[in-house]
Amino acid sequence: MTATQTATRTIELEGDPAQSAAAPFVGRAMPRVEDAALLTGVARYADDLPVKPGTLHAAILRSPHAHADLLGIDTAAALTVPGVAAVVTGADAKRLASAFLVGIRAPMEHWCLAIDRVRHVGEPVAVVLADSRYQAEDALDRIEVRYRPLPPVTSITQALEEGSEPLHPAVGSNLVNSRSFRYGNPEAAFARAARTVSVEVEYPRNSCTPMECFVVLADYDAAEDSYEVLSNFSGPFAVHPVMARALNVPGSRLRLKTPPHSGGSFGNKQAVFPYVVLMGLCARVAGRPVKWVEDRLEHLMAATSATARRMRIDAAVEPDGRVLALRMEQTEDCGAYLRAPEPASLYRNHGNLTGAYDIPDLAVTNRIVVTNKTPTGLNRGFGGGQLYYGLERLMNRVAAELGLDPLDIIRRNLVAAEAMPYRTASGGTLDSGDYRATLEQAVREGALDALKARRDALRAEGRLYGIGYAAVVEPSISNMGYITTVLTAEERRKAGPKNGAQATASVAVDPTGGVSVTVASAPQGQGHRTVLAQVVADVFGLRFEDIRVNTDLDTGKDAWSIASGNYSSRFAGAVAGAAQVAATRLRGRMAALVAGQLNCRADDVRFAAGKVFSDANPDNSLSFSRVAAAGHWAPGMLPDGQEAALRETAFWTPEPLKAPTDADHINSSACYGFIFDFCGVEIDRTTGALRIDRYVTMHDAGRLLNPLLVEGQILGGFAHAVGTALYEEYAYGDDGRFLSGTFADYLVPTACEVPVPVILHRESPSPVTPLGAKGVGEGNCMSTPVCLANAVADALSGIAVDEVPSLPITPAKLAALIHPPEPPRPASTAGSGENPPPITTPAGRGLTGEGSREVPATPEQVWAILLDPMELAALLPGCEALELVGPNAYRAEVVVGIGPVRGRYTAEVALSDLDPPNALTLTGSGTSALGSGSGTGHVTLERTPTGTRVTYRYGASVGGKVAAVGGRMLDSASRLLIGQFFEKLVARAGGAAAPAERPSLLARLLRLLGVAR
């Protein structure tokens, strides 16, 4: 069904009361009950809720360094800022809290505030609590922190090197976990196979970035030693014990509530949990309630990220393309700390590592490394995008190497319908579906033949056009035991078994006969209230609007368990299923109570159209409200020994979810949907710009409870996937600087970049879940990036064999593949001809430049200027003070503005490699509350007939907040500042002003950047 078709169906249903009355609500495209509040502005998100009188507002001081020893924090000046009540540091955390539990056996400590070391840019170092957020932020600048920088570890490659600086010295290595698994007999299959086909891919860091950032309201009750916190935390509530333990209280003394509305999560709001603990600690230290609202820079810089993964897969392949076995090596970058529930991203798909394919033999090595980057966590499709990027690129490579059609390779390897339920090599149970028929349906209904004809026609015109495919299984309802696959069987025995996925729902009738439903699903905008009203209305034969659903969660009062929350697509299968179980039980109890009155057996009592009656005698009916209310008003009338049917709470866990076996088999999810996608993309031969021409996505997600919402989930997942594939990346410099701290740097696709895909459905109900539904919201984040990448490979097939740039596939990367490398630049016309030493700068925001200028002064005169502190002070842009601290070494106070960020830096400047009067090296480094900068310049002086030719080459880099938010402007601004220095030098030595075409542009840019007025 396409988007238009679903919308039409919605409108038709709304306008057809006859159908509304008769048909069940489940399966209908019902508009949402949530929308009225959201559309009129009355909805209340966490930041809209009232705070207690006297509440303090928190601002967090964060590390500007990727890796440094934390030597000391001086909070005295900050405490004098008006409105400031307290400053909380790691010392308070040590005194009143504990480190977080970590999911693997390794001596790694992660605290809610840095204790003695910082391990990523943005790590919380101190918290200011003040009467307003504005005042709290003022005081951040007054905290003095002393750091000793350590060598940063910023890539998987570097983390695996023997000599890399260990982030967690007690572990001794940045490779913190490694496990190998062997299923079947992969060695024999590789020996037997006709050939081995391999791919090696890397998946970048990115994040779904919900529009609402994190919010925490925390209060501490000293009399009861208990915490009460409201936060837009999304679950999994398996993290609740982690939070309680970090606060040194039992779970019953951490009462966690969620707000009525949440502005999106996509898994990300799992990562608010360290701040729940941090703000609980702050409330305790300050003795007052505390509120913290994360800002966007904080979110992008330090909230959470998808894992980066390097993956190598070998396939043992027969000549016809049949894959006999896989050998996988996955190395996962989890960032600075392995934060709960990681290593979820690496193990979530362990039961479906072979995807939609019948591949019986499998060898896997999983490695986890830590790097000086933001800790990772749940992110729509977590682990799936990474896995399938490797697996589906591999299948495409098999086709390329065998010279076969990629679609035939997929067909040849899909699990057969007759094999369902299919047990995968690693222990998963694919529960239902006819993958082959689903694929053929998509090929037919999605008009693949027409797309191929279009490709042929466009290629004949010389255009770069490609078609890509991807087939994946979409896991939903995670097994709470899958993460323990990271432990050895022996370690698991010691820790005790973990398995299942408890979902909870309560259904109650009130004294007026109204029905209410409460669940612990912590929705973040999906429409859980709507679907639950559909499900429960059907069970009781009531109107949709008769069911009132409350999804606010309060761990102090509601039924919940560790699997509660909103993640791994568990709502439709598990939570809606649990609601149906609870409602059905309550209905059964009501039937038993009323059967006597209706002169029938309980089994024959029917609930329909607001009435309760005997199947045999529908005319003799009771109103539902009367039956429901009787238990409240007239409990004395209940049949002997029976209690009133007022409320029912169901706990439901999927039967097939067992703990990992001793041989490490694990059914990591309860359900597995199937997705088959294909698409056509065109790449502009000149610019490298990629356009998605057509995208077809076919889903079998079991029974669809509300097609309108299912479509919304697919469209949303698709949009996220387009961002992942083409635009989004958390970018870092080689020194760990974070470079994408605004939405102008971290590129979220807009309405101009996201096309509308053709959405097709097939419904193979899951035998596992009560309603037959499976998850559907994450699938495209697994299938779409690799489908687009395979299309790119096809489009570039005339240029390279199965080659695709790394994600995100940007026009620059594509253009570099399309166009041959540019010829080398002609040799520099400047300088003496003898090359000065090369200047290296960190990648990312590092920049280099060079220039030369003739001045009417002797080399000796120029030399004297450079070595005179007074003269040097006049040359340094923004220099307000310069003091000598050693031979040719100075400390300078410099004020520099980059775009909106203007800061005072204390800079260390030194002159070295002195070769009077011919050459010297000028180095400088500076730090401020806004970040750090450093640079090196080589200056050579060459005597000429009229004076001296001054030649300079420099390299510079800038980090911290200024790098994260000013990145777009940084290169040009730094170049201008450095240019200013040398222009001033030339001018001071009596040279001409800069060339004629420069000043106007220079002045304009300077004004634009706020460097000049």
Partner 1 sequence: MPPLNSTSPLTAETRHAVSIVLNGTPRTGHAHPRLLLSDFLRHELGAHGTRVGCEHGVCGACTVRIDGVAARACLMLAVQADGRRIDTVEGLAQANEGRMTALQEAFRRHHALQCGFCTAGILMSLTDYLGRNPKPTEEELRDMLSGHLCRCTGYAGIVRAVMDVTGRTMKEAAHV
Site residues (CB under 8 A) for partner 1, limited to 750-769: 750-752, 754-758
CB of 671 to partner 1, least distance (A): 22
Query: Between 168 and 961, whose beta carbon lies closer to partner 1?
Result: 961
Question: Contact region for partner 1 (CB under 8 A) — 1-9, 393-401, 552-560, 923-931?
Answer: 1-9
Interaction with partner 1 in 38-77: which residues (CB under 8 A)?
38-45, 47-48
What's the min distance (Å) between Cβ of 515 and partner 1? Answer: 23
Q: Determine if 730 is a binding residue for partner 1 (CB under 8 A).
A: no
Other beta carbons within 10 angstroms of residue 399's beta carbon come to 23
Q: Is 14 in the site for partner 1 (CB under 8 A)?
A: yes
Q: Which of residues 945-1004 bind partner 1 (CB under 8 A)?
A: 965
Residues 444-463 that bind partner 1 (CB under 8 A): 447, 450-451, 454
Beta-strand relationship, 879-886 and 889-898: antiparallel
DSSP H helices in 763-894: 779-795, 811-818, 859-867, 869-875
Q: Does 638 engage in binding with partner 1 (CB under 8 A)?
A: no
Identify which of residues 133 and 984 has a Cβ nearer to partner 1 in the complex.
133
**Residue 748 is a binding residue for partner 1 (CB under 8 A):** yes
Q: Which is nearer to partner 1, 7 or 914 (CB)?
A: 7
Question: Applying CB under 8 A, does 743 fall inside the site for partner 1?
Answer: yes
Residue 893 found at the interface with partner 1 (CB under 8 A): no
Cis-peptide into 236, omega within 30 deg: yes
Asked whether 121 and 736 are in contact (CB, 8 A), the reply is yes
In DSSP notation, 683-749 reads: E-TTT--EEEEEEEEEEE-BS-S-HHHHHHHHHHHHHHHHHHHHT----B-TT--B---STTTS---
Structure tokens that stand for 42 in this block:
């009355």
| Separation CA 852–CA 861 (nearest Å) | 17
- Applying CB under 8 A, the span of 463-471, 520-528, 656-664, 665-673 interacting with partner 1 comes to 520-528
Piece of 390-398, 551-559, 616-624, 715-723 that binds partner 1 (CB under 8 A): 715-723
606 interacts with partner 1 by CB under 8 A: no
The whole-angstrom distance between residue 345's C-alpha and the CA centroid of its chain comes to: 11
Q: Which stretch binds partner 1 (CB under 8 A): 170-178, 202-210, 367-375, 590-598?
A: 202-210
Give the three-state DSSP class for 820: coil
Of the two residues 323 and 679, which places its CB atom closer to partner 1 in the complex? 679
Nearer to partner 1, 42 or 889 (CB): 42
Q: What minimum distance in Å lies between the beta carbon of 44 and partner 1?
A: 7
Beta strand 611-614 with 464-478 is unpaired
DSSP-derived secondary structure letter, 821: P
718 part of the interface to partner 1, by CB under 8 A:
yes
Task: Provide the pairing of β-strand 901-915 with 919-928.
Answer: antiparallel
Beta carbon nearer to partner 1, 509 or 964: 964
Give every strand in the sheet of 84-89, ordered side by side. 84-89, 124-130, 56-62, 290-293, 215-221, 226-231, 254-257
Scan residues 799-858 and list those touching partner 1 (CB under 8 A): none
Query: Which lies closer to partner 1 via its Cβ, residue 12 or residue 161?
Result: 12
Q: Name the nearest CA neighbour of 674 among 313, 306, 410.
A: 410
331 binds partner 1 (CB under 8 A): no
Q: Which is nearer to partner 1, 43 or 910 (CB)?
A: 43
Judged by beta carbon, residue 78 or residue 681, the one nearer partner 1 is 681
Interface of this chain with partner 1, residues 127 to 156, rule: CB under 8 A: 134
Single-letter residue type at 445: E
User: Which of 936, 674, 924, 894 is closest to 782 using CA atoms?
Assistant: 674
269 binds partner 1 (CB under 8 A): no
Q: Pick from 28, 34, 345, 760 the residue near partner 1 by CB under 8 A.
A: 34
Binding residue (CB under 8 A) for partner 1 from 385, 427, 500, 525: 525
Residue 683 binds to partner 1 (criterion: CB under 8 A): no
End-to-end CA distance of the chain: 58
Counting contacts by CB under 8 A, is residue 715 touching partner 1? yes
Q: Sheet holding 117-118: strands in order across?
A: 117-118, 68-74, 144-149
By CB under 8 A, what part of segment 209-238 binds partner 1?
Answer: 209-213
- Nearer Cβ to partner 1 (630/965): 965
Whole-number Å distance between alpha carbons of 687 and 683:
8
Query: How far is the C-alpha of 909 from the C-alpha of 965, rounded, in Å?
Result: 25
Cα–Cα distance measured from residue 24 to residue 42, given in angstroms and rounded to the nearest whole number: 31
For the range 405-410, what are the long-range contacts, defined as Cβ-Cβ under 8 Å and sequence gap of 24 or more? 406/469, 406/790, 407/443, 407/448, 407/469, 407/678, 408/321, 409/321, 410/356, 410/439, 410/469, 410/471, 410/676
The answer to the question of residue 259 lying near partner 1 (CB under 8 A) is no
Distances (CA, A) of 739 to 205, 497, 749, 807, 975: 12, 43, 18, 17, 18
Question: Residues in contact with partner 1, total (CB under 8 A)?
Answer: 71
Nearest Cα neighbor of 779 from 793, 799, 759 is: 759
Q: Which is nearer to partner 1, 83 or 251 (CB)?
A: 83
| Greatest alpha-carbon span in the chain | 120
What is the spatial distance between Cα 398 and Cα 317, in angstroms, rounded to a whole number? Answer: 8
Residue type, 306: A
23 lies in the binding site for partner 1 (CB under 8 A): no
- Tell me: does residue 608 bind partner 1 (CB under 8 A): no
Report if residue 695 touches partner 1, rule: CB under 8 A: yes
Nearer to partner 1, 138 or 538 (CB): 138
Is residue 296 near partner 1 by the rule CB under 8 A? yes
Q: Which is nearer to partner 1, 42 or 188 (CB)?
A: 42
Q: Does 208 bind partner 1 (CB under 8 A)?
A: yes
Contact 682, 458 (CB under 8 A): yes
Q: Residues 903 to 932: which contact partner 1 by CB under 8 A?
A: none
- Which residue's CB is nearer to partner 1, number 712 or number 859? 712
Task: CB nearer to partner 1: give 212 or 735.
Answer: 212
Q: Does 264 bind partner 1 (CB under 8 A)?
A: yes
Out of 226, 262, 669, 951, name the contact with partner 1 by CB under 8 A: 262
Give min distance, CB of 450 to partner 1, in A.
Answer: 4
Query: Does 168 contact partner 1 by CB under 8 A?
Result: no
Quote the CA–CA distance of 710 and 576 in Å, as a whole number. 14
Report the nearest approach of partner 1 to the CB of residue 42 (Å): 7
Nearer CB in complex with partner 1: 10/345? 10
